[in-house]
Structure 1
């Protein structure tokens, strides 16, 4: 499945990641006139080194046509560039890629950088002139044979600063995308390989190439496993090399490498520390608890993994669970992954390197289906009844070439991790957006068409329906992918209209079902019906998973998702407040509840007392302890209550949160969150350790 040998030069995965200054999670002190701020941790790079990252904004902060001005806190201005990727409804910037000429900082030395909106828009670099003396060539060929050569700069320089392939175009950085089909002769006749490279020229003279070999072309004959050697040469130096790569169909792998004019890879730029609290205020992420630092040993394990030789091997899993149907408390399942949560809370460069490495490794999961006729990811517009499962058989209801069974991966919608959204949000790296979009499209195409419905059928969500007869957690994680992809996708991208329709249709369908579900569920209403009713069993933690996704969509302004979340409040909060109605509040986070009699397709009990009594009768109750809540079920409940307090201002959720926090079920004490911060989510102004929130840096 992987290459025998790999040499990576100038990449984050090639060397040990040094520990930062002990300032976990300290954000910048942002003044009233500033639109954003970051903290840089020095790497020893020279003044003027360009660092690139993603930045989100509130509506109106950066109006259409405006750019960014940057300054070193307490000192003078710094050159900065903003390339807007997405906009709010008023036309102001919502998310953009920022390039900054960093000050000279010693390794580990912090510096606060503050940003304001600016009407000054300097012209972009003269890329053609600066590229004349540079070289970037990709070579791909059969092992030991004559390679195919692709001159990346010749292709990138044809239209620098213009066209849909451009990602950055300013005075500090110009980035263009190069896409080429790899000739079958270079791959033993395989027709499914694309070369996708994002080529960036920076004002500091650094040439950066984010090169990917994507063996993902679907619905075309001749696709299959590709066997090859490859080299990427920057300025006639081998920057990336892999021999004996054996790459399955529907996968991709890539690395970002650099070269400076004097030769050799560029030094690492300063590390960017983002303000997670501000990102939560903007609705971009959940509100993570900064009062509980990530355990040192967790960060050390991240650093050791990134420094290990296995990390650099093409198509490696990098700690991602390859058998995704595996159940249990996994570090990659949640609103985001453990390493991404650790990155947001700690700002530690080791967590960042690990999370970014896993976002790269997401390319090796065989869920990338590129439709060459549409020049985009496979979706229901051209293939309304297609199913990427092998049971879909032949087109138009199945793939022309089925997903191979010898990849080492087993995917599952109900256990899919979100490996790309947060890394894309914090870095603005376009390859991570590719991964996010591919997974979102697959989240629909891998669901049985008879259940997701036909677009010809009347009613909301038909053709996209991920609620109907699905595991609730499968609905939650598929909608999580759709929502993140929609938020991140630029205007004009072919993927946007489809993913928006898919997300909108699902939440509209769920909202339309609220009256019927309420009537069926009675006073305990507020839960999404499970996929089947074999024995009347309801898993409350799966409802918490769905609530986390509804809250994420509601934070981004989705009215139907907000309505669904508000309806769920009656169950999510009420299960901890129904003690006077005959229901044990400790069972609110039990593994399972008896919502109906054990006979197949029984009607729901309809009130808390019957649910409580039947749960006790079947031996599922916690009684006076937590025997049925071993694991992370209490922390799942706390995060969904936190979201309802934050998004809805729910007083009912506040009371339930206070009770559950005081009751302290397993995995909800600070020491648990130190080693697994995946669900370390709190309401605004309610840290678990008051007084321990890190002060901002001036």
Structure 2
């Protein structure tokens, strides 16, 4: 990780100055938003906290100061490290730090965030002072009979050697909290660096509190251009402040994966807190989808999330609650605009949901998708001429000329984790929003950078990062992840412009292909465009994922996504409102949408034609895909839409009770195809296209709606 942090003062007296401000009168300004700091343990004094905060456009100026107004009206000064801004110059995302004077056992402090005078910049001595006062951190690895070691002191020396100073690349830099980051090779006693493994250290400390420093140790097997890529098995010991904080024998570190360990310098004073965000405000900013806030997460579901975490699935090279084989079919909690545990957290801020979300975020480093460019220190980018031929597709593994080395030998890169863009969860975006941890930012960047690479480089536009070649659902989830990286990567980060351009490249393709080209009148993805994924039939649920993705990008502020959304939204809206198409079948698993039945042929001209082509026949396909017919020989298409007669027909065909107005496609399931359709209809209604409001109202009034309290990841509603 490149860069080091600015020169820092180490001033224990600062704590007294901060606490003295608490006696100031309550700020008169209205609160922007708020957080609650929950004590997870015994009484605590001088409690440091740091969290990430998203702000709505115009709510908080880049040069504004911030303070926390407590329940008793007193005001606590806060440090704000601005990371990303909106187009109007106001703050989009910042990292906020402060120190609570005390927090009672199992108590909660409510903080209203209000504008205040801008804090004065920090100054004074730097991280060297911490090392001089006894802070130490090290990692020892033994592999292939050789011992390798890296220390925090080594990382500091390497940073100073590269720049001659330690004030480049600040992450947190203020009077309350500071953070220094530095990378270093793992070296043998003879000074030889391990060819594949590397380490990095980060120290976040609070100068006003003695020995209040959080140390991060990261071990990576992520080199992109180093020959001999393979898994590495080793014994490892991590020490912080002279004590062992992690030890493991025989750890298998997978190719192009990484892990980290956190520990506090003074373990006895490590803050045991949970910073609970204002989920409603976060949703209102548009940074996350508009989840239905009337849903109360089910207690048993929250308990289940806690019960699923154990030493066997957490820690280095473990993935928490995520499905190990991503291509696994069927509905599950990790697939959706956000995973179910993340939505549970937004709606409840329950620590059990947070723990599941963070376990998944930590585990995201275990997948073999991490390509770090050793020359720049950042996730690899393909817009450089030398990198445009990069591909991770197995069929190109031994063909050249490709700059990325493949596995050094058969069986040397075996991993229990299989990535797949078509079923890829959002693992690190919300954790980064809420914590401001650089590790999670890089996780988001690694996944966004790697997603376009699993094909021949021509298909992805020779470095343009196009995802048109993926399955329709894969395009949806890859666009989501790329949009998140472009939206939240800090303005000053070298990859900000890269991800923004890659997203723009993709939106340019869809705009030219569908908005300008208008290959069909249904608004359906049909495989048009050079290098695009070809489809014979339509999978409406996958198409709905893609519609939602364009809607989400529009909400994030990417204006070029709006006309694409308005064109694409025609498809879900038409299936709910168009004359001649019965809306109870709007969430069908599959629809034949070409008169010729041939891939690449023209689509039907109307929704009425589409409906007749799929339902004007002597059989009906049930939710499970099996054919069904009525005992008396009547046909489904002849029953009036959403009528009692239609329900009676379906009752006889299914041999179970069917309610009038129930949608097909597992309509009562929170993971059924109508549930998959819901986000698309929600963003369509928000877009204001013709008939979208009617489509949403009809959908919302349907019979047998899902109970989203256990699995809420599809419970998105229109913004008003």
Instruction: Give the conservation status (yes or no) of the 8 Å contact 1:479–1:549.
Output: yes
Moved more, 133-142 or 446-455: 446-455
Name the CA shift for 1:484/1:586 in 2 (closer, same or farther; >3 Å): same
Indicate which of 372, 382, 389 corresponds to 1:385: 389
Q: 1:420 aligns to what?
A: 428
- Following superposition, the deviation at residue 448 of structure 1 comes to 3.0
Query: Secondary structure of the residue that 2:544 maps to in structure 1?
Result: helix
- Following superposition, the deviation at residue 226 of structure 1 comes to 1.8
- Following superposition, the deviation at residue 190 of structure 1 comes to 4.8
Query: Secondary structure of the residue that 1:494 maps to in structure 2?
Result: coil
1:433-472 correspondence to structure 2 within 5 Å:
433-454=441-462, 463-467=464-468, 469-472=469-472
Whole-Å separation in 2 of the counterparts to 1:311 and 1:107: 30
- Structure 2: segments with no counterpart, 5+ residues: 1-26, 624-635, 637-645, 651-662
Q: 1:362 aligns to what?
A: 364
Instruction: Give the conservation status (yes or no) of the 8 Å contact 2:228–2:407.
Output: no
Name the CA shift for 1:563/1:402 in 2 (closer, same or farther; >3 Å): farther
Q: Deviations over 1:426-483 (max 9, x none)?
A: 111110011100000001222332222236xxxxxxx33222x431111111111111
Whole-Å separation in 2 of the counterparts to 1:47 and 1:507: 51
Whole-Å separation in 1 of the counterparts to 2:421 and 2:191: 32
Instruction: Give the conservation status (yes or no) of the 8 Å contact 2:56–2:92.
Output: yes
Q: 2:172 aligns to what?
A: 168
Moved more, 113-122 or 315-324: 113-122
Whole-Å separation in 2 of the counterparts to 1:395 and 1:378: 18
Query: Secondary structure of the residue that 1:640 maps to in structure 2?
Result: helix
Name the CA shift for 1:525/1:225 in 2 (closer, same or farther; >3 Å): closer
Whole-Å separation in 2 of the counterparts to 1:31 and 1:342: 34
Structure 2 residue 708 is the aligned partner of structure 1 residue 673 = yes
Whole-Å separation in 1 of the counterparts to 2:55 and 2:515: 37
Q: Deviations over 1:126-150 (max 9, x none)?
A: 4443442132222222169674333
Name the CA shift for 1:146/1:514 in 2 (closer, same or farther; >3 Å): closer
Indicate which of 627, 637, 647 corresponds to 2:677: 637
Structure 2 residue 242 is the aligned partner of structure 1 residue 225 = no
Q: Deviations over 1:498-518 (max 9, x none)?
A: 211110011111111225653
Structure 2 residue 68 is the aligned partner of structure 1 residue 70 = yes
State TM-score, norm by structure 2.
0.82
Instruction: Give the conservation status (yes or no) of the 8 Å contact 2:254–2:413.
Output: no
Name the CA shift for 1:610/1:493 in 2 (closer, same or farther; >3 Å): same
1:235-250 correspondence to structure 2 within 5 Å:
235-250=241-256
Give the root-mean-square deviation of aligned CA atoms: 2.8
Query: Secondary structure of the residue that 1:54 maps to in structure 2?
Result: strand
Whole-Å separation in 2 of the counterparts to 1:46 and 1:121: 26
Instruction: Give the conservation status (yes or no) of the 8 Å contact 2:46–2:209.
Output: yes
Name the CA shift for 1:674/1:544 in 2 (closer, same or farther; >3 Å): same
Name the CA shift for 1:528/1:31 in 2 (closer, same or farther; >3 Å): farther
Query: Secondary structure of the residue that 1:115 maps to in structure 2?
Result: strand
Whole-Å separation in 1 of the counterparts to 2:165 and 2:342: 32
1:53-132 correspondence to structure 2 within 5 Å:
53-124=51-122, 126-127=125-126, 128-132=128-132
1:496-507 correspondence to structure 2 within 5 Å:
496-507=496-507
Name the CA shift for 1:311/1:405 in 2 (closer, same or farther; >3 Å): closer
Instruction: Give the conservation status (yes or no) of the 8 Å contact 2:81–2:96.
Output: yes
Q: 2:20 aligns to what?
A: none
Structure 2 residue 509 is the aligned partner of structure 1 residue 509 = yes
Q: 1:480 aligns to what?
A: 480
- Following superposition, the deviation at residue 77 of structure 1 comes to 1.3
Structure 2 residue 260 is the aligned partner of structure 1 residue 257 = no
Query: Secondary structure of the residue that 2:358 maps to in structure 1?
Result: helix
Whole-Å separation in 1 of the counterparts to 2:144 and 2:120: 48
- Following superposition, the deviation at residue 541 of structure 1 comes to 0.9
Q: 1:552 aligns to what?
A: 552
Query: Secondary structure of the residue that 1:289 maps to in structure 2?
Result: coil
Instruction: Give the conservation status (yes or no) of the 8 Å contact 2:585–2:664.
Output: no
The number of residue pairs the alignment matches comes to 634
Instruction: Give the conservation status (yes or no) of the 8 Å contact 2:297–2:344.
Output: yes
- Following superposition, the deviation at residue 201 of structure 1 comes to 1.3
Whole-Å separation in 2 of the counterparts to 1:98 and 1:269: 18
Bigger-Rg structure (1/2):
2
Q: Deviations over 1:308-331 (max 9, x none)?
A: 232444211212111111111021
Q: 1:490 aligns to what?
A: 490
Whole-Å separation in 1 of the counterparts to 2:682 and 2:362: 31
Moved more, 171-180 or 199-208: 199-208
Whole-Å separation in 2 of the counterparts to 1:533 and 1:131: 59
- Structure 1: segments with no counterpart, 5+ residues: 1-29, 456-462, 686-698
Name the CA shift for 1:32/1:288 in 2 (closer, same or farther; >3 Å): farther
Q: 1:660 aligns to what?
A: 699
Whole-Å separation in 1 of the counterparts to 2:318 and 2:699: 41
Name the CA shift for 1:532/1:317 in 2 (closer, same or farther; >3 Å): closer
Whole-Å separation in 1 of the counterparts to 2:188 and 2:292: 51
State TM-score, norm by structure 1.
0.85
Structure 2 residue 572 is the aligned partner of structure 1 residue 572 = yes
Q: 1:12 aligns to what?
A: none
- Following superposition, the deviation at residue 395 of structure 1 comes to 4.7
Whole-Å separation in 1 of the counterparts to 2:230 and 2:193: 9
1:228-377 correspondence to structure 2 within 5 Å:
228-260=234-266, 264-306=267-309, 308-377=310-379
1:384-403 correspondence to structure 2 within 5 Å:
384-392=388-396, 393-397=398-402, 399-402=404-407
Whole-Å separation in 1 of the counterparts to 2:415 and 2:488: 29
Moved more, 362-371 or 624-633: 624-633
Whole-Å separation in 2 of the counterparts to 1:233 and 1:440: 32
Whole-Å separation in 1 of the counterparts to 2:326 and 2:432: 22
Query: Secondary structure of the residue that 1:104 maps to in structure 2?
Result: strand
Name the CA shift for 1:46/1:651 in 2 (closer, same or farther; >3 Å): farther
- Following superposition, the deviation at residue 195 of structure 1 comes to 0.9
Whole-Å separation in 1 of the counterparts to 2:358 and 2:550: 26
Instruction: Give the conservation status (yes or no) of the 8 Å contact 1:156–1:199.
Output: no
